[in-house]
Structure 1
Amino acid sequence: MFDRYSIPATWAVVGHLLLDECQGTHPDHPASDTGWFESDPGGSEATNERWFGSTLIEAIDEADTDHELGCHSFSHVLFDSDQITTEIAEAELQQCEAIAREHNLSFSSFVFPRNIIGFRELLPKYGFRAYRGRSPNRWHDESLIYPVAKFTNYTVGNTPPPLVHPEVDEHGLVNIPASLDLFSLEGTARRFACSFGEDPVLRQAKMGIDAAATDQSGVFHIWLHPNNLVRDADFDRLQRVLSYIADQRDRGQIAVETMADVTDRTVAQPLSQ
């Protein structure tokens, strides 16, 4: 679908997927002492394709569209200083760097598991230049009636998702905050909204894309998990979003960039006086 619309994306992959095989114990990883790998079945891609996916990642790397391969940690530990040590965080990054090198890949963009941002100071040591930051709060996030306020904003409100402005942080990394999760209104709320009108998240996405076309100083940063795509309606939502992006791009209204593209552009900008 991304190739069909010639839309490049940053695919943040878990490093474990690049392993050819493993025993499931990972004794050389400090998280093994915490029981973190107890659910790892071991094996290979032929036996456990949910845990090993080098052919999938190779397909992304060799796609017609010039995608970026980013990193989503080695084993999806949460980079929360209350839950892991610096040693564990560093092992995650070190193993990702090593396994990417084995596959002639390089990662420069990092997406923190569960969007829990921590240990940023370690990223430059392993070649990372940017990370996805947290989304700015929206007005409904602070509402005492949050579910109702969010549903109202998504279905009939006139407030688009935020445009973000990437910045270089104190570690020399480019923080690229997220704007919209393409699966941020699901379940009963989604079904109810779709029963009498347009898909509410598609509506929000269009508003964000239109905002980016109007104010080209900002970035509309969309994200999703591929495993969000389960039902036909999920694929339809993504197809409609990509189609709208492609239409606006082809009309010269917007540019489509990966995280690496945004990083290069942000670093190249002169510092404000």
Structure 2
Amino acid sequence: MGNHLFYNTEGIVLRAIAYGESHLIVTLLTPAGRVVALARGAKKPQSRLRASTQLLTRGLYSITQHSGMGTLGQAEVLETYRSLRESLELAAYAAYFCELAAAAAEDRPHGSVALYQQFSGTLHRLRAGQDIPQIVARVWETKVLRMVGASPNWQLCVRCGEPLSEVADYRSKAGGFLCAQCVVQADSNGRTPDFSLLVPTALAQVLTRFAETPWERLGEIRLKSENLNRLDQILRIQLTDYAGIVLRSRRFLDQLDELSKGVNTSAGEIDQRHDEAGSHQV
């Protein structure tokens, strides 16, 4: 008994896995880090833990920490994000955000308050519908990369450290943008060419803004579809190759986005014409 630690914490449910006939193994993101706890009987309809162990629920949790997994005792629901679970698209994005948060988090007590706050802000932004889910995803990915140390200085050449010119060249092997001079050197060394993507430097500034600006200070975000696709390619490589994060939920999102493009082609063309008339679009 002396080795047991009892504590109360705020947390958000990132994952809930069935254990036996009536229990759940719950993964929480807390301000102090990731916590895994057994919620006994939480699958039972009459369980007092049933509501508090649903995916995305934010609550106050009482946990007894043993040498391995903790045990969830009592819980009070603070917020449910129910609307995110009622839409297939929003639920898919929320699940991806949860999986990304779980991959980025350190175990308690070595976690980050900033990660918890930014994740909470991401869910609020997704629920608000202020931006399309794809944009919320790119912002969240950029913030995660910065917090796990896999983000370059997006506005400088990653080789020489000089500011970028009007067009930046993203190189997968470099893990960031190269200036024109370093591109020439990279292409003249005779090595196997790596993935290259030319983008306007304004997009590099957008990445910096996404990474460094808190959600509450980010206004409505508008991006042309081609620039949103560029960000998708860049951030996918950074997450996979430099953060070591490969998530199953991302593959489902890709399928969902492709289906959405096919169904909403005409609506998307109208939205794009509308966005191109906007003053804050990149």
Under a length normalisation based on structure 1, what TM-score does the superposition of the two structures give? 0.29
Answer 1 or 2: higher relative contact order, Cα 8 Å, separation at least 6. 1
The structure with the largest alpha-carbon Rg is: 2
